[in-house]
Amino acid sequence: MDVEEIAMVYCRTFAPAKPAPLSLARRGPARRIGMKLYHYTGVEDLLPIKQRGLLPAPDLISPDYAIVWLTTQPDVSLTEQEGRAMATVLHRYEAPLSELQRQGAGEMETRPRTRWSYGPKSEHLPMNIGGRTRIVTFVSDECDDLVRLTVEVPDHDAKLHRYIKWRDRPKWPIHRFLYRLDHVQRWYVYLGHIAPTTITEIMPVGP
């Protein structure tokens, strides 16, 4: 079973049951359920997410708080300008997985990143290229098992914060650069557990 088939199975499993229709006498004005946000993860994480939902945890970007990362961006693409900026400031690059075979001959070529998230089939390695250290993500030409979860969160939920306006966000000098990137400005953090019932769709992310 490939990643698309797995995602379709879990999409049907996660989908909440449809409520019985209300009678016309009880039906009132339409109410907004909340914000539609996205969470990206590897296909191997789908089973524990199905069982327990999305659990908050600290990471390198937010080491002091346990959070769940969300975004309004329906894909993980970077603009060409963002890719060049991340290459210049953060020394983050990407290359086809086939370039690893050319490494020994000193012929390896890298390019600015085209995505801000990758699946578990991609390899992130520090490389010394031209006397400078670069973090290179080697990307498979095929699907790398990254999936997108759609999450419904009430927009008045006190645990939901837009990342660049969250008062407890890290304020290291490098973050002044990060907060100017278009894709980072679309990030949200959720300071708590997100139940499986709020996950309404799962879709594979193409290469």
**Domain-located, residue 131:** yes
Query: How confident is the model over 119-140, as a mean pLDDT?
Result: 77
**Domain-located, residue 157:** yes
Residue 40 binned pLDDT confidence (cut-offs 50, 70, 90): very high
**Which among 12, 37, 16, 44 is positioned nearest to 147, based on CA atoms?**
44
> pLDDT tens digit string along 156-204?
899 999 999 999 988 888 778 888 899 999 999 999 999 999 999 999 9
Determine the pLDDT at residue 161.
95
Domain match, 62 and 157 both: yes
Q: In the predicted model, is pLDDT for residue 98 greater than 50?
A: yes
Is 12 or 168 the better-scoring residue by pLDDT?
Answer: 168
Q: In the predicted model, is pLDDT for residue 44 greater than 50?
A: yes
Q: Domain with 178 in it: what CATH number?
A: 3.20.170
Strands 160-162 and 187-190: antiparallel
Residue 97 CA to residue 3 CA, distance in Å, equals 19
- Do the Cβ atoms of 73 and 116 come closer than 8 Å? no
What is the domain range of residue 120?
A: 80-139
Determine the pLDDT at residue 120.
78
Strands 132-139 and 123-129: antiparallel
Count of domains in the chain? 2
Residue where a domain stops, chosen among 139, 169, 184: 139
Lowest-confidence range among 1-5, 27-31, 40-44, 149-153? 27-31
Write down the residue that tokens 């085209």 correspond to: 114
pTM: predicted TM-score of the whole model, two decimal places? 0.75
Query: How confident is the model over 103-132, as a mean pLDDT?
Result: 74
